Structure 1
């Protein structure tokens, strides 16, 4: 669980502000929070969009769920408390990236609405864009790129989202991308056009 900040720890304001860093990069900074079941396409979408942003000279970075658990969050399991702490840490890291003037793309199952809301509250209202990568469980199981669903069905992986642990779909996401209906290029186009229409890339 989150510990309170000790009384002898004080916030130190930086000399360079977020707006100054944004002027340096030439674009706004924000978090694209990809959430959805395992196998829905979150990481593929985030990385493909990252490539598109790079081609348009947008400073961006992908925070991927599996990658983060190899380092920053390797001490966490998959219990509800550990999942909450996993998302809390990612929310804090994403907030730092946004402050640096970077567009951050987070690809995490992040199954609980309350945890995603906590991550949202760390940022300004226009800096958190929740993207629900919607895909039917049956299609995710059919894809099963890592063989996780098969292991979950066999009881080898406990507390697996969608099988033995719940997934709470976003109630009011900024964007819904149905990857069982759209190709990856079509889905990336939809997200990129959304960002352009909101004037977030300039």
Structure 2
């Protein structure tokens, strides 16, 4: 056992690193890294994971797969995801800066694992190569006007109301009715609709799992900015994966994120099929369609459940609007 007595009162705890003053560790939150993927589900850039390095655990995302490596020829191959036992060279982003060394210099401060946030399974082992230059050049700018001041002048509590459900469930219909009610009562709102956003911000995204993850990541970040502006933002997206909905929730302060599950059976949504999308998917003309050949992960603990079979859109919107007005 070793006891260290510090001359100054310093908040040091498990996971912190002590180094010689003449040879300190680098500190960064963005890295180039080599990964061996061990998960049964593919690695998707933008999906949140836990990164454990030494005795420290921080939030992490793979922001870009630079290439994967052919283990037989060592050739670098283009890749948008990594499957089981594939090796890739990636960019990593962490939610806080950590002390580190390149793996070539220190196995303890350069080797890490990635952990799935849902089941805590180890999904990757990796080594840090170097810190990305932007990690040391980008800093938070202090702003005098904050969210509280923006909300105060609008006389409302800013919220993110996240509608999730199958295509045709009625998400946009209910969200639109809720916004009309709030606007009529003087609330400052904005509605982010999945189809509308794909005409601009996300026009470069398709419907593969990789594209869906990035689609939700971008929209969640935009919603966070709108909440910071003091708005009540309504987000109407299929958002089929629990991991990305959890990622969105974690961007907001406690109580500011409301997950609304628009619960409509597949058969009912398909019967409505106002856009003809289910018919195209059944005919094989539309790939990666949620509910047909791409999964929808039902929320396990949504904040609100709206049953569109038992109640009309108007009644559901009234109930949800009253809930939001009561909280504000």
Alignment TM-score > 0.5, same fold: yes
Distance 2:140 2:284 in 1: 46
Aligned equivalent of 2:267: 138
Whether 1:128 aligns to 2:257 is yes
Deviations 1:65-92 (A, max 9, x none): 0000000001111111110010000110
Deviations 1:91-123 (A, max 9, x none): 100000000000000000000000000000000
Higher radius of gyration, 1 or 2: 2
Q: Which has the higher strand share?
A: 2
Whether 1:178 aligns to 2:307 is yes
Whether 1:22 aligns to 2:174 is no
Aligned equivalent of 1:152: 281
Aligned equivalent of 1:78: 207
Q: Which runs of 5+ in 2 are unaligned?
A: 1-44, 47-62, 64-92, 95-133
Whether 1:9 aligns to 2:138 is yes
TM-score when scaled to structure 2? 0.60
Whether 1:94 aligns to 2:208 is no
Aligned equivalent of 2:177: 48
Deviations 1:5-37 (A, max 9, x none): 821111112220100011100001010000000
Aligned equivalent of 1:162: 291
SS of equivalent residue, structure 2 residue 190: strand
Aligned equivalent of 1:114: 243
Whether 1:36 aligns to 2:165 is yes
Distance 2:281 2:309 in 1: 22
Whether 1:69 aligns to 2:212 is no
Distance 1:172 1:96 in 2: 25
Distance 1:138 1:101 in 2: 39
1:64 Cα deviation after fit: 0.3
Distance 1:47 1:63 in 2: 10
SS of equivalent residue, structure 2 residue 244: helix
TM-score when scaled to structure 1? 0.96
Q: Which has the higher helix share?
A: 1
Distance 1:13 1:177 in 2: 40
Distance 1:74 1:51 in 2: 27
Q: Which runs of 5+ in 1 are unaligned?
A: none
SS of equivalent residue, structure 1 residue 180: coil
1:193 Cα deviation after fit: 2.2
Q: CA RMSD in A?
A: 1.0
The one of the two structures with greater contact order (alpha-carbon pairs below 8 A, sep at least 6) is: 1
1:168 Cα deviation after fit: 0.4
